[in-house]
């Protein structure tokens, strides 16, 4: 079993790549891998409850760990109380920890 870190930076409402990255996460998980999706930059827009991004709920229920960069959330005026339960706000050092652990990393 491998560990995968998928880093998503694209706006989920302007890029089809966001949904494709979510599908990839489910595929990798289905193959027995551990998967973490880390939202950075404009991808954190999907973490808002008002966004109704069902992809993130689906990922979390399946077992994908979904993290959102606290700095990116703050810079976009998204308070931690506005983030859906499926997403865990995290500092960038969580991303660095995954990299240090040898996770296979894909960045969009």
**Cβ contact 69:90 at 8 Å:** yes
Q: Read out DSSP for 20-39?
A: HHHHHHHHHHHTT-EEEEEE
Give residue-wise pLDDT tens across range 57-103. 999 999 999 999 999 999 999 998 899 999 999 998 888 887 888 88
Give residue-wise pLDDT tens across range 7-58. 999 988 888 888 899 999 999 999 999 999 999 999 999 999 887 767 899 9
Question: pTM of the predicted model, to two decimals?
Answer: 0.92
Superfamily of domain 3-107: DsrEFH-like (3.40.1260.10)
């Amino acid at each position: 079993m491998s560990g995968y870190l998928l880093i998503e930076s694209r706006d989920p409402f302007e890029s089809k790549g966001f949904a494709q990255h979510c599908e990839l996460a489910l595929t990798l998980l289905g193959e027995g891998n551990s998967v973490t999706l880390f939202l950075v930059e404009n991808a954190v827009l999907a973490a808002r409850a008002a966004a109704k991004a069902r992809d993130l709920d689906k990922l979390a229920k399946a077992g994908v760990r979904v993290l959102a960069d606290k700095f990116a959330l703050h810079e976009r005026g998204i308070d931690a109380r506005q983030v859906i339960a499926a997403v865990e706000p995290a500092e960038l050092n969580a991303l660095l920890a995954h990299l240090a652990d040898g996770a296979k990393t894909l960045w969009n």
